[in-house]
Structure formats: C-alpha cells, structure tokens
Structure 1
Amino acid sequence: MDFILQNWVLVLIAVTALALLLWPMLSGGGGAGSLTPNEAVQLINREKAAVIDVCSLDEYTAGHIGSAKHVPVDELEKRLSQTIKNKATPLLLVCASGIRSKRAAGVAKKLGFEKVHTLAGGMGAWRAAALPVHKGPPGKG
C-alpha cells in the first residue's frame, strides 16, 4: 500500500495505459475495424480481402469498388455465407456512408466471420480519396 501512495503518479499512468489498451474491446470494436480508404486498399491488396457492398442496387449501380460483390444489408444474413465460403477470409463491408456497413459487421460476426472491417465514411470517403469507382449493375464490374 505504501508503494501505491508513494508512486501514485506511476500507478495512475499504468491504469490509464491499460484502459486505453482495453477500450477497443470494451466498446464493442474487438475484431472489427473501421478503416480509412488507404487502409482498405492495403487490406484488399495485401490480405486479399473480399469486398462486400451492402448498399441498395441503385447505390451499387451508381458507383462501387471494382472488386465488390453486391449483397444488400437486408439479405446479408441469408447470402453472405454463400457468397464467401471461407470464414477466415478478411471482409471489407462498404455502404454509402459507413452506417449500414457497421450493422452488417455485426451480422457477419454473428455468422462466424473472423476478420470483419468496415470502410469509415463509406463510398463518400472512397470517392473523396480519389480512388477508382466502377459503375454498373452486379456482374458488370
């Protein structure tokens, strides 16, 4: 007890550091990350992440990431396991603004996918980063 009283500043620093390290897990972010567009490109290129666009068909057709597979968020629970067979494959979930993809990340985790990520800011952030956008219906790239 004397140690704690005499070194209260060090103890406070240690407790603060521990809290900061545990915060992502405690706030529900454990296992799922929100990535910037540049981090998303690295995930796609380095880890061969599967890109799943959870937008409506109209939004997808208006512009999507080139390798994205279209699975609307409302159909995700039924179709994701058919679309991506290996649950160890890293997933990048994308929508127009990043809100629906967060909901989709919860569904993907519930289905047993291990490495689930979302694109922070969605396609708006992707466009703002001047990254390539493909237009057209699913299957047309």
Structure 2
Amino acid sequence: MSEFLHRLPEFMGNHTILTVLFFGILIAVIANEATRFGRGFKELTPAQLTQLINRENALLVDVSPQADFEKGHIPTARHVAMAQFDPEHKDLAKVKEMPVAVVCRNGQTSAQAASRLAKAGFKKVFTLGGGVASWTAADLPLAKGKH
C-alpha cells in the first residue's frame, strides 16, 4: 500500500487527463447523492410501492394529465392534475403524517409534486421511479377510466 501511495503523485502527473476526469466524476457522483439525500422524498421501485400501499395504507396520488390517467393508472390512485396540485389543500393537510406516494407517466412530474409535499411539511413522501411506465414494465395491473 505504501508503494502505491508513493507512486500516486507520479501517476497523476503523467496522466493529468485521467486524473481530472476521475475527480470530475467523483464530484458529480457526490453532488448527485447529496442532492438525492436532501430532497425530502424517496424513490421507490414498483415492488416497494406495492408494499407501501399494502402495509402502510399509503395515499397514492397520480399527477398525470387526465387523458393519460384514464388510459391506465395504478389501482387506488387518486388523480390530481399538476396544475391543481396544492400541498396546502385541506384534504391533503389531513394526511400529513401518512405515507404519500406520487406517480406520473415517467417520474418527472411526480418528483416536482413530491418536492412540493416535502417542503410543505409532509414527513413520508415517495415517488415511483420511472413512473407508471415502470409499473407496467413490472407486469403490474393498471385500472382504466376516471376512477
């Protein structure tokens, strides 16, 4: 080990591009993990979401556009259009201590909604990584229609 540490400065001097790339990637990974850790919500797999719904009776909110929701949504999901999504709404305020999972088609919009919930003081906020598309890819059932 001491020989490795002794030769490391020589290696770094001879391979500056590799050294810069290594430290650049290291900084990017650390920044990404720090951001993920501090965002206030956790991303779940379809199996983890199923467990959360079954074991903790989580509220499932789908923020997909109405047409996408009607084409197919996770059973028990309640639709709320992102334009009307308000974490301070009286109905949501009642469930501040419950687990709340937010989903959308691909996971982008639900992350924004989950962030808003976390900032509003919700303690147990989750998203489905990959959205309803990952739910479908896991061969889990979808409900169709408005309910």
Superposition TM-score tier, normalisation by shorter sequence: 0.7 to 0.9
- Alignment of 1:112 onto 2:112: no
SS at match of 1:92: strand
Instruction: Letter of the 1:90 partner, please give it.
Output: P
- In 2, the alpha carbon distance for the partners of 1:136 and 1:67 equals 12
CA contact (8 A) 1:71 1:80 kept: no
**Residue matched to 2:35:** 27
Task: Specify whether residues 80 and 123 from structure 1 end up closer, same or farther in structure 2 by C-alpha distance, changes over 3 A only.
Answer: farther
Task: Specify whether residues 69 and 84 from structure 1 end up closer, same or farther in structure 2 by C-alpha distance, changes over 3 A only.
Answer: farther
Q: How many residues align?
A: 120
Q: Displacement, 1:29? A: 3.2
The alignment's C-alpha RMSD in Å is 2.5
Instruction: Letter of the 1:114 partner, please give it.
Output: K
Q: Which runs of 5+ in 1 are unaligned?
A: 1-7, 9-19
- Alignment of 1:41 onto 2:56: no
Runs (4 or more) in structure 1 with deviation over 3 Å come to 28-31, 78-81
- In 1, the alpha carbon distance for the partners of 2:88 and 2:62 equals 12
**Residue matched to 1:97:** 106
- In 2, the alpha carbon distance for the partners of 1:108 and 1:64 equals 21
Taking only the aligned residue pairs, the percentage that are identical comes to: 38
Measured against aligned partners, the alpha-carbon deviations of 1:13-71 in whole angstroms (never above 9, x if no partner) come to xxxxxxx9xx85x3143441110100100111111110000001001000001100111
Measured against aligned partners, the alpha-carbon deviations of 1:74-102 in whole angstroms (never above 9, x if no partner) come to 21126754246120110110000000000
